[in-house]
Structure 1
Amino acid sequence: MTQAQPSNGAFQAYRASLLHFNDDPAFHQNAYSWHEDGLLIVNDGHVHVAGDYAQLVDFLPPGTPLHDYRGKLIVPGFIDTHVHYPQTDMIASPAPGLLPWLDKYTFPTERKFADPAHAAQVASFFLDELLRCGTTSAMVYCTVHPQSVDAFFGASEARNLRMVAGKVLMDRNCPEFLQDTPESGARDSEALIQKWHKRGRQLYAITPRFAPTSSEAQLELAGALAKAYPDTYLQTHVAENTDEVAWVKSLFPQARSYMDVYDRYGMLRPRSMYAHCIWLDDADRQRMSETGSAISICPTSNLFLGSGLFDFERADAARVPLSLATDVGGGTSFSMLQTMNEAYKVARMGGSYLPALRMFYLATLGGARAMQLDGTIGSFVPGAEADFIVLDPQATALLARRTERTENLEELLFAIAMLGDDRTVAATYAAGRPVHRRAN
């Protein structure tokens, strides 16, 4: 892993095919910009301009280094809107469902993050793995331990990454060794907000794990924090599987639905990210749309844990902001390309069709929009932070054979999404600096 260095303000230029989005292809024509022979010009860690090579090359300042990636595709860095860094070491753990999986693997694994040295080592590996897979921004769950948050943000800051993370809040229905209290959880979260939120490229997320592991007192204080710090994020889980939904109904009988539990405490708002959202009803989706709350779709973990199939059509009908996520360690890969692969299959099983262009939108600008960060990450508009990746359509023999026979952009992207993985990522850049290069 190449550590990021301070920018010297010099221009850098990158020649390759370029793709980025200006809107959701599901709802708008001309939602993307495609330059088969393109040029991306970066200055001081930000996008200066992106377009056709022939139109821009003559405007390069003299002496600008030109990095030649012809034959490859440059896209904005992938954005993973739901992932658990403490679960890195328990990925691919067998269990008959979500709740027993939490008890047998998740909670014992997270106990180790009371040790700052352990947390720092896992955070470093986790971030390097994200970068190897082309993910430059993520919404990340830490553990209940404040030191797990410090370790994560410290590792992210060293790499100059745009990351969102938060301390998990959990004061009941979990092992005693992972419990906080409503007061201690709120106090620790506020201290972490003041320490890390908007420090460089770091952003804080208020993080109740999910409704069953927080008392009403804790949810009330989490909602109060969200109101007191409206530019922070809020992340949690909702309606992942039917056993969980039934459990929430027994714990909160006064609530109309699982989503209504959060709504009662002021947690539906812009910059709130709800993972899974499989077992919602139309009233829930409409309420999310009204409040600017976003959905993080986690197809790989939903299939792995047998939770259910996300309903793309109903979410789109309500115009809820959508994004994609790996949900490691319920998800079994850090690769957003493999996540696209699973999302396509989930959509087909649910009677929907998910074009490749939309999958790439959801993994880039869609994630940025869901996080209220469009214009900052997720595209190549002038002034955006220069987080981008270089995809190699010839990374494997099979991918090369298939992409040689593609006839249009949609076919090319579809082949990359279905056949690609971490090997497809030739290089990853964060704020204009290389943070990963594939070993050839």
Structure 2
Amino acid sequence: MVLVYSLDVSAPLLRTQGYVDGRWISAASVFPVLDPATGQEIARVSDCGPAEAKRAVDAAYKAFHSWKQYTAKERSVLLRKWFELLMLHKDELAQLITFECGKPMCESLGEISYSASFLEWFSEEARRVYGDIVPSPAKDRKLLLLKQPVGVASIITPWNFPSAMITRKVGAALAAGCTVVVKPAEDTPLSALALAELAEQAGIPAGVFNVVPCSRESTPSVGRVLCTDPLVAKISFTGSTATGKVLLKMAADTVKKVSMELGGHAPFIVFDSADLDKAVGGAMASKFRNSGQTCVCSNRFLVQSAVYDRFVEKLGGAMDAELRLGHGSEPDTTQGPLINARAAEKVLHQISDAVSRGAKVVKGGKRLDGSFMEPTLLADVTADMLCTKEETFGPLVPVIRQVQTGDRD
């Protein structure tokens, strides 16, 4: 029997057009948004290009001149309304995340609470943009420091937290008096567009919050506008290190302010003296959240030799007992799919490379239907293997035997 999963979200929140200057706009073409668990198309979204991106930047620049004149309290009130609307619609917003990103519903609900918390926090911080009075070296002078918004901010966000990575950046920008243009990841534009709908309902003025969704093919040209247009003053990006380098180069000519949150390669270290049950619990929590697709997931596991075999055995037992693959809408699912076939192929390539160099597959190791990957535990891993050099972004645990205590890169 083939199970069919359907996205049950009310029409106002299931938006498929770009959002520019307070209006929903279409583009010359559309691109599909797929459920990564099934490969089924769940929506077709406007494929915005450079023209729509420029239109959004112009709208944000125009709106900036009025938005920055709002009082701190006025901005605070609007952000608070936006927060309340997210919490009111948290179940539907979580569904959007599960269907376009693949997360289990419990994680998606957690993300919406996390996402809303940024708006709540910055709605309160908006009232506290204080200046300073600094003692002057001259008797006839006073030094006053004022904090002022920089202008239009380009917000470029990843697919693994399609709601929270937007509100974390946008909440701060709007609280400060900046306006924004958001380019969501091509895999997960629906969450961004739902946020735009709720921003409009909250009363955020036209042009203050703009969203330009686009396909993978259109991303370079849209990104170029957002990073080079002289009307953009600030860029905030979360994503891969390779992409971050490209954006930094583009931003350099106009000397824009830039904030980058790039890839990770975090080690998980277990010493001989560790409580192994606690270590295994920590490993499970730090590795398998969102099927290993977070920038703070542990990527390589360094375990001292005296406890190595017991740690691997206990971790394998915990994986069998606690991890359940499936569609994120199923209540017992703990591991959804990877975001797309490319992500699954990357993990499989790292496993194949490790095995070819002598690693042993203790658990998993196989790619399943679509972009599902078995949670995989590798033993006898060495530092020359790809999985110890590159960020994995998937459910792979490579365990390295650490013979002696020492510093590790």
Shorter-normalised TM-score: what interval? Answer: under 0.3
**Structure ranking higher on relative contact order (CA contacts 8 Å, 6+ apart):** 1
Bigger radius of gyration:
2
TM-score (norm 2): 0.25
TM-score (norm 1): 0.24
More strand by share: 1
